[in-house]
Structure 1
């Protein structure tokens, strides 16, 4: 599932920062950047960021957030840089992570 893979990327991101030095706020945007990156890494069809921004900003989207193309491009790039572009998720990693999350929740 792409959602669990995005959560795994968020976990990797958080592990890059000591507990007291993690950036606060912007959790929804971090999830968005993780989701876009993993969607592109796992998907057969890779939408352009302009298409993603149109979808995110569309009034009928229940998850509507106002995102500008520059913000998405920059955030995606910075998120990837923090992870040193380690954005691949193997099926076994995804299965293990998903199981651990479901056990906790």
Structure 2
């Protein structure tokens, strides 16, 4: 493990730090269940006897942590009925293709759309 992401909770007048950390940790758990191979660990730098603190560090190799940062959408497939997470990575392309091809989600690994 040579990298880590550090998330610090900001004060919220409507939720305690414990509630926010619980929600954050639950979301991380769902992401790790979906795709982790057991190569990501966590620590709580501000841990006390009563509270996990307001900071969460997520440790792992750079490639594993980058995966956690990819935005995703939870979808239900209309063709198969399966529920899955679609990860999105947007990049800049050099040139427009003559015959763009997009999936039923409007996405493509080879075609591009104009950037306004």
| TM-score range relative to shorter protein | under 0.3
Greater C-alpha Rg: 2
If asked which structure has higher relative contact order (CA below 8 Å, sep 6+), I would say: 1
For normalisation by structure 1, the TM-score amounts to 0.28
User: Greater share of helix residues, 1 or 2?
Assistant: 1
For normalisation by structure 2, the TM-score amounts to 0.25
